[in-house]
Amino acid sequence: RTVMKRRRNSGALGTEKDKEATEKVENEEVQRAGRSITDLPGNIVINILIKLSIKRIVICRCVCKSWCNLISSPKFAKLHFERAPMWPLLRTNDPKRVSRTLYLVEPEDDCDFDFGYCMCDPGDFDSDSHVHMKLDTKFKLPLRDSEMVLSNEYDDSVMWRNTKHGAKKKRFVSLKPKDHKFGIVNSCNGFLCLCEPSQKNPVVVCNPVTGEYIKLPEASKVENSKALIVSGLGFSPKTNQYKVIRIFDQWSYDPAAGNKWFAAEIHTLGTGSWKSIGSAPESPFCLKFPTYLNGALHWFCAYLEVIIAFDIEKEQFQSIPSPAHQRCCSKLDNISMGVLRGCLSICDASCYDPIDIWVMKNYGVQESWTKEFSIDTSTADRWPYGLYQPIEYFNNGALLMFHSINCLIYYGPTKFGFKYLKIRGVQYLSKKKIRGVQSKFEVIAYIPSFISLKDSLIGDNGEWLNVKSRCAKLNLREESQGLFLVEENRDLASADSNSSSYDSEEWENH
């Protein structure tokens, strides 16, 4: 027994020596090859990562634990958001689809990106089209009734689809859009405010990049079940608070003063209730394009041609003058509002020729409105008639816009002129691959953010969840297999504008 024990100890000692020798050789090889990129100081790694696209940053988060912690840190989120550009965020707007998938139109990691040069493999489309970009940066919105979906995961709504070579079966869910689809109200610092689709009542705030979302507390009921609600998400930089306001089409009456007004309420994220803030100056039917900028929410009031602003910190309404100019016609349907280069902007296509884009260089000062673009639509480019929403004003002087006929328009006045970019899909129907599928889309101007929604709450009230852990593995039957941005013949613009059935009312509310 003593001999056997000594032999075992000798074997164990040999194993330890072999392990030490192996580690020594590996360390020498690492020293010869140079240090790993994961050994770089944190500040250098941050400076590298914040220049990457969202898709690549998410991939880098899986490299190692230290990088995951770095990308998840408030410092990285703040630095990234400060330099992040604004890009279109797309979602299918088909009434027959639940549409929880969001597609971010972001380029590769190139600071000098230009839509005029961006090309990829056009194999999936006909020879008359040029594929500009595959939209593979995707996020998911929460479902309205995720608890019901999870509890009925194996009922008749869940179906199975064979994957390639018949190796596995892929589970997907068939849902009714009216029961599960959220509407998108607006964006603020990378967060989205979501509403239920009938009355537009705000019910959820989420960060699609991180997957975090919070359900808002139940607000006071509106007496009229058909009343319209206008809402918006804003942020107060001084108090570091996010607030959701809702204005509903219900008259409140003060018997003493004899005044009537539209009711308004506000909720601070992290608190457990809504509070009344008295009156709103205009009816929800008049307020379009909720836009956050400079600590305030803004709506364009079409019939008054004025901008209604709500100060998030002071919780007060005020009016901001629109550009002082003489309009050639009285049609106000084709006027939109947004943000360009950090300034409030208005795009006026009401007269069609020209299309004027105004920018307020000095916030709140009417005289600072500057006509940044005046686009002549009588040229051979054949600009489509309708509603335009500017998304991004590039450093090269070009402009990216979304048009209500369901396309992006790239306007480079000095180089490329007019580019008509349609959104095309690839779907699988009855085991057949259908290429170039057209669909309706809604678009919002969006700055992606890694800011934690959980860290932005005031207090512990509210139900904080993550979409990645709830219904994330379930595949909706209606979800598209892929989207592409495709340049098409300019003559199609005129044809599409005449046959379009795009719901402009839906678009104006975000």
Query: pLDDT tens-digit profile of 338-380?
Result: 999 999 999 988 877 788 899 999 998 989 999 998 888 776 5
Residue type, 207: N
Determine the pLDDT at residue 154.
43
**Average pLDDT estimate for 459-476:** 68
Chain segment 154-193, per-residue pLDDT in tens: 444 444 444 444 544 555 555 555 556 788 999 999 999 9
Determine the pLDDT at residue 190.
94
Determine the pLDDT at residue 416.
63
Determine the pLDDT at residue 171.
53
Determine the pLDDT at residue 405.
76
- Antiparallel, parallel or unpaired: β 399-403 and 407-412: antiparallel
Q: Are the C-beta atoms of 502 and 405 separated by less than 8 Å? A: yes
Helix (H) or strand (E) holding 389: strand 388-393
**Average pLDDT estimate for 247-263:** 68
| Count of residues in the chain | 510
Determine the pLDDT at residue 101.
84
Chain segment 77-117, per-residue pLDDT in tens: 999 999 998 899 988 776 666 677 888 988 765 544 555 55
Determine the pLDDT at residue 162.
46
Global pTM value = 0.79
Q: How confident is the model at residue 251 (pLDDT cuts 50, 70, 90)?
A: low
**Average pLDDT estimate for 203-222:** 88
Q: What is the C-alpha separation between 176 and 145, in angstroms, rounded?
A: 11
In which order are the strands placed within the sheet that holds 101-104?
138-140, 101-104, 87-92, 441-446
pLDDT score of 500 more than 70: no
Determine the pLDDT at residue 476.
62
Determine the pLDDT at residue 294.
93
Q: What is the C-alpha separation between 171 and 345, in angstroms, rounded?
A: 45
pLDDT score of 121 more than 50: no
Determine the pLDDT at residue 161.
47
Residue 4 C-alpha from the chain's centroid: 69
Cα end-to-end distance, the chain, whole Å:
82
pLDDT score of 16 more than 90: no
Residue 234 C-alpha from the chain's centroid: 15
Structural tokens at position 53: 């696209």
pLDDT score of 320 more than 50: yes
Q: What is the C-alpha separation between 320 and 315, in angstroms, rounded?
A: 16
Backbone angles phi, psi at 277, to 5 degrees: -120, 25
Q: What is the C-alpha separation between 327 and 336, in angstroms, rounded?
A: 15
Name which of 220, 197, 207, 212 is nearest 144 in CA terms.
197
**Average pLDDT estimate for 133-150:** 73
Structural tokens at position 426: 């690839």
Mean pLDDT for the chain overall: 75
- Residue 21 vs residue 6, higher pLDDT: 21
Q: How confident is the model at residue 245 (pLDDT cuts 50, 70, 90)?
A: very high
